[in-house]
Chain A
């Protein structure tokens, strides 16, 4: 960064504002762009976090004019924005919005796009900086990337940056993700590739690092001497929605376990980074991902499930195989639970239980550290019957916050100890106004801050964990569970086999 006399590191009031730039979104008419990206751009503008010179370009197949597109973008932003709607902010933003119509194999359309970009450099003073957001199915990546290479749009030079944002899934297995990485890296330099895992943009996930590394209280017990096991849960109450085509090929393990859950595991288990920088944090996460071991007895410790019809939140829910667009004989899993180990000095012997599923009783994501029981209890056995393990729970969503569960005396004349929980709650009230994950991540892309984005080596290390599981599951049938249950019985047996049980989140 070139020194600026008005910038002062002590001046924490001035927001981080990116350099003048353009944001190009491929697949702007898609669900993600409408529900997340466009509102995030509006929110950034409304908070005054976009640079003075900024342009938004949308690229899609649909036959639209600038006005129709502006109309759609406005409706989308207005409907999903988190900050109050101010027409004048949108109007200003709308003057910078362009729409380019074309299919991805259409050379003319890309030439037009490149032309628009060059034109904006002059007319909007964006200085040649641009971020490309690939909000498109991965199958389209090669075509789009080749087009960008052909038109020279992807080249960063000393006086301009070009960045690309890639959404999960990053491939479907180790091999395909390697291919994808090689492809993306051949067009963009590795530092200019931003892989979005929106979980990492969540406030609580970032707070996990503050909790661990800014306090003296937790780090000394954050290891296998004190921790009995770790449970990471990401449950959804919804089904697959209209995404049958995508989900049939993907399944819960590839959709969630490979990225969100393993990233949460990495953040939970990693050593302290040397400094709070993108490079150092990624280095520590990578070490954990590489140290993950799979159980030998996959039959017991790698369970997958598929929901059958049932009742959820007072409504009848149909089974996965009955969902529209799903093969009636489908063996795709909608639930996955696995026991992993982290082979480091800190974590050797501590099981990490990961589970994710759809049509579970409620939407919840949390990381729970279950501590060992006290080695000796000076109370009578009957006094501590109700005492469980101490727990430290980081609630990622909803009810963002931290819970500490410990034993306390039941008031009364006899000595009785039972579990109580102490809550730190951000509460909806406080997080409502904090930036949404996409907003934060989009800003980081424009600023070039890669702290919250996994690196390709991390993606590959994650696939190296998932691949053997998928191989083991190949050709088997998932266990079934009723919609509205906490997964198949086999998942409970998996913990029971080691004398543990799942925490009810």
Chain B
């Protein structure tokens, strides 16, 4: 590991190359570059998650921490790691001070792995318009986390308004385990009937203010064409915001999946005894790793987001954004450049 104080982007590029030469072949072959944008307070968490994800997907990790935008002199501190604390691959943690923070892409661009996809992940409050962050514009896939904002349902709306194919949200990723259980439970109902099942309605007990619960409801209604309400549950539902899901089926049947608060869920379905199955809360690194598995636009997400927010035509939008210059220090809000 080398730490470079008050340095430049080219020095970082050189140092990375130097370490690669002396460090031996720790990792050869890179599938993607992961750009992580984090606040200083969340940087440890983000590093841990990125390390976890890098163990599954060979990638170059670039962590950007923007600090003190009002600092008078721009400055870059960088920590270059190969095969160390930040996973098996190459990693650079960069702290950017002053106006440099608004031009982070000037440091990041030369560090991107050649011709490999770029994924940008904001671990913190994401920009309202991704187009205003050049680190998002240059990415092939953009990951936000609506659960980190004050009002997640409102954030979902912002995300939907700003959506472009290739956007994703960790709040959506948190619903995967629930979605898998629901789909396989429905499989077992239709297996018993030897006939297709229709879902006429559903209800989610949990936290209506949770983005995951809202997206799960949106997903069920987009798949089944019925309305799904999120109603407050009786207990603290945990990060996924879901305590129980009830689906009303045709033939007057009903199925329910309820979290048992011990890392499992109890499944109740007609004509079958209740069964339990693992439904653990997943760590951030797991979620990120799932995101990196596929880099094409996630249509089921955009449809769930449409249903959760009532906006339409999300997947018809262009996948490429134009960078919009935005200066948080300036009086005028947004000026197109």
Interface residues of A (CB under 8 A from B): 2-8, 10-15, 17, 19-20, 45-46, 48, 50-53, 86, 88-89, 92, 95, 122-125, 127, 158-159, 401, 423-427, 429-430, 432-433
A3 CA to B267 CA in the complex, in Å? Answer: 21
Q: Assuming A6-B186, A14-B180, A17-B180, is B55 touching A425 (CB within 8 A)?
A: no
B312 part of interface (Cβ distance < 8 Å):
no
B196 cross-chain contacts in A, Cβ below 8 A: 2-4
B223 cross-chain contacts in A, Cβ below 8 A: 5-6, 8
Which B-chain residue is minimally distant from A51 (CB atoms)? B184
Q: Are B199 and A5 in contact (CB under 8 A)?
A: yes
Scan B53-72; emit 1 where CB is below 8 A from any A CB, else 0. 00111100000000000000
Closest 8 CB pairs of A and B: A125-B272, A6-B183, A429-B88, A17-B184, A2-B190, A11-B300, A424-B29, A89-B278
Q: Assuming A6-B220, A88-B278, A423-B25, is B300 touching A20 (CB within 8 A)?
A: no
Interface residues of B in 272-308 (CB under 8 A from A): 272-273, 275-280, 290, 293-294, 298-300
CB distance from A379 to the nearest CB of B (A): 28
Q: Assuming A17-B180, A20-B191, is B27 touching A427 (CB within 8 A)?
A: yes
Not counting A92-B278, A125-B272, A429-B87, a sample of 5 additional A-B residue pairs whose C-beta atoms are within 8 angstroms of each other reads A5-B198, A53-B188, A53-B272, A125-B188, A427-B58
State which of B195, B269, B277, B278 has its C-beta within 8 Å of the C-beta of A2.
Answer: B195
Q: Assuming A53-B272, A88-B264, A424-B29, is B180 touching A48 (CB within 8 A)?
A: yes
CB distance from B58 to the nearest CB of A (A): 6
A214 CA to B322 CA in the complex, in Å? Answer: 33
CB distance from A50 to the nearest CB of B (A): 8
B176 part of interface (Cβ distance < 8 Å):
yes
Interface residues of B in 184-222 (CB under 8 A from A): 184-188, 190-192, 194-199, 220
Which B-chain residue is minimally distant from A423 (CB atoms)? B28
Scan B98-136; emit 1 where CB is below 8 A from any A CB, else 0. 000000000000000000000000000000000000000
CB distance from B32 to the nearest CB of A (A): 13
Q: Are B28 and A12 in contact (CB under 8 A)?
A: no
Q: Assuming A425-B28, A425-B29, is B273 touching A19 (CB within 8 A)?
A: no
How extensive is the interface on chain B, given as a class? Answer: 35 or more
Q: Are A92 and B277 in contact (CB under 8 A)?
A: yes
A432 cross-chain contacts in B, Cβ below 8 A: 55
A3 cross-chain contacts in B, Cβ below 8 A: 190, 196
Q: Are B56 and A430 in contact (CB under 8 A)?
A: yes
Q: Are B273 and A125 in contact (CB under 8 A)?
A: yes
A127 cross-chain contacts in B, Cβ below 8 A: 188, 191-192
CB distance from B223 to the nearest CB of A (A): 5
A86 cross-chain contacts in B, Cβ below 8 A: 263, 278, 280
Mind listing 6 A-B residue pairs with CB under 8 Å?
A2-B194, A7-B187, A12-B294, A14-B179, A14-B180, A88-B264
A45 CA to B277 CA in the complex, in Å? Answer: 8
Which A-chain residue is minimally distant from B89 (CB atoms)? A429
A92 cross-chain contacts in B, Cβ below 8 A: 264, 276-278
A86 CA to B57 CA in the complex, in Å? Answer: 24
CB distance from A434 to the nearest CB of B (A): 8
A48 cross-chain contacts in B, Cβ below 8 A: 177, 180-181, 277-279
B262 part of interface (Cβ distance < 8 Å):
yes
A426 CA to B88 CA in the complex, in Å? Answer: 11
B182 part of interface (Cβ distance < 8 Å):
yes
A236 CA to B192 CA in the complex, in Å? Answer: 48
